[in-house]
Each structure stands twice: as structure tokens, then as C-alpha cells.
Amino acid sequence: MQKLSQLALNDEGFVFDPTTGDSFQVSMTGLVILKSLRDGKSDAETAQALAKKYEVDHETAARDIADFRAQLKTIGLA
């Protein structure tokens, strides 16, 4: 969580990690998930928000969150 709180984000999905100098782009779905994680929301709360915003079922939203978390772990942000 500490690493996530240090990331700089913009509304177009650009993410900058000031501790490493790395930057990357996330999709709008990824941006919603990333902001939610930074705000300390649970995966269930985040899935509910995704399901409502993008009109998908809860299972799809939950799977997207799990996939995104796995990607964050791969790049050392989780």
C-alpha cells in the first residue's frame, strides 16, 4: 500500500513512480482500480463500482481486479 500511495496519476491513465522513475499507462478500468486501492477500498467495493460504471457483472469486475493486482505484484507495486 505504501508504494501505491506514492504514485502520481493523471486522469488519462498515466502513472509515475517517483521512487524508481518508472512510468506506465493503465486503462480507464485500471485507473479506477488503482485509485480505489490507493483509497483503501476493499476489492468488493471496487468490484461494485466497476460493475456499475462499466455495466459488467460482479464476477467479471472481481476477475479484473484480481488480474490487475497480479500485474501490480509482477512490477513490484503490490
Q: What is the pLDDT of residue 23?
A: 94
> Which range of residues forms the domain containing residue 27?
2-74
d(CA 7, CA 4) in angstroms, rounded, equals: 5
Task: Quote the number of domains for the chain.
Answer: 1
List the one residue out of 57, 19, 13 whose CA is nearest residue 32. 13
Tens of pLDDT, residues 1-52: 678 889 999 999 999 999 999 999 999 999 999 999 999 999 999 999 999 9
Three cell numbers, residue 58? 460482479
pLDDT score at 1: 62
Close Cβ partners of 57 (under 8 Å, ≥ 6 residues apart): 51
Task: Quote the CA–CA distance of 40 and 1 in Å, as a whole number.
Answer: 8
